[in-house]
Structure 1
Amino acid sequence: MSKHPKVTILLAARNGAEFIRQQLESYRAQTYPNWELVVSDDGSTDGTLAAVDEFAESVPQRVIVVHGPRQGFWQNFVSLVRSPEVSGDLMGYSDQDDIWFAHKLADAAAWFERVPEDRPALFCTRTQLVTRQGAPMGFSRVFGRAPGFANALVQNLGGGNTMIFNRAAQRALQKTPLDAAMVAHDWWTYQIITGVGGLVHYDTRASLAYRQHGENVFGKNVGLQARLTRALGLASGQMAGWNEINLKLLNRVRGELLPENVAILDLFARARTAWLPIRLWLFWRSGVYRQTVTENLALYLAAIFGRV
Structure 2
Amino acid sequence: MPVDRPPPLAPDHPVTILLASFDGAAFIGAQLDSIARQTYRTWRLIVSDDGSADATRDIVAGFAASRPPGQVRLIDGPGRGATLNFLHLLSVAPEGAVAFCDQDDVWFPDKLARAMAALSPFHGPAHYAARTVIADAALHPVAESRHFPRPLGFRNAVVQAIMAGNTSVFNAKAAAILRRCAGDAQTAGIPSHDWWAYQIMGGAGAELIHDRQPVLLYRQHGQSEMGRNDTIAAMSHRIGRLLAGEYGGWLAANHAALSAVRTELLPENRRILDGLGKALHQRGPVAAATMARLGLYRQTRPGTAALFAAALMGRLRQCGPSSPSR
Q: Is the TM value for this pair above 0.5?
A: yes
- For structure 2, the residue ranges without an aligned partner over 5 or more in a row are 1-8, 317-326
Q: CA deviation at 1:278?
A: 3.2
Q: Deviations over 1:218-275 (max 9, x none)?
A: 1001011111111101111111111111112211112221110011112222223334
- Runs of 4 or more, structure 1, over 4 Å off, are none
Q: CA deviation at 1:59?
A: 2.9
Question: What secondary structure does 1:174 align onto?
Answer: helix
- One of 131, 134, 153 as aligned partner of 2:136: 131
Query: What amino acid maps onto 1:92 in structure 2?
Result: A
Q: 1:1-308 to 2 correspondence within 5 Å? A: 3-60=11-68, 62-83=71-92, 86-87=93-94, 89-116=96-123, 119-176=124-181, 177=184, 179-308=187-316
Question: Is contact 1:271-1:280 (8 Å) kept?
Answer: yes
- For structure 1, the residue ranges without an aligned partner over 5 or more in a row are none
Structure 1 distance, partners of 2:119, 2:173, is 12
Question: Is contact 1:267-1:285 (8 Å) kept?
Answer: no
Question: Is contact 1:108-1:123 (8 Å) kept?
Answer: yes
TM-score, normalising length: structure 1: 0.94
Q: CA deviation at 1:276?
A: 4.2
Identity, in percent, stands at 40
Query: What amino acid maps onto 1:105 in structure 2?
Result: L
Structure 2 distance, partners of 1:241, 1:79, is 23
Q: CA deviation at 1:212?
A: 0.7
Structure 2 distance, partners of 1:278, 1:90, is 42
Q: Deviations over 1:49-92 (max 9, x none)?
A: 21112212223371111111111111111011111xx3463111
Question: What secondary structure does 2:180 align onto?
Answer: coil
Question: Is contact 1:7-1:88 (8 Å) kept?
Answer: no
Question: What secondary structure does 1:24 align onto?
Answer: helix
Structure 2 distance, partners of 1:171, 1:31, is 25
Question: Is contact 1:36-1:88 (8 Å) kept?
Answer: no
Segment of structure 1 superposing worse, 271-280 or 59-68: 271-280
Question: What secondary structure does 2:191 align onto?
Answer: coil
Question: What secondary structure does 2:127 align onto?
Answer: strand
Q: Deviations over 1:158-210 (max 9, x none)?
A: 22111101221222122222533111111111111111111110111111111
Structure 2 distance, partners of 1:41, 1:283, is 40
TM-score, normalising length: structure 2: 0.89
Structure 1 distance, partners of 2:290, 2:84, is 33
Question: What secondary structure does 1:175 align onto?
Answer: helix
Question: Is contact 1:290-1:296 (8 Å) kept?
Answer: yes
Q: CA deviation at 1:45?
A: 2.1
Structure 2 distance, partners of 1:248, 1:35, is 34
- Aligned Cα RMSD in Å? 1.6
Structure 1 distance, partners of 2:281, 2:65, is 56
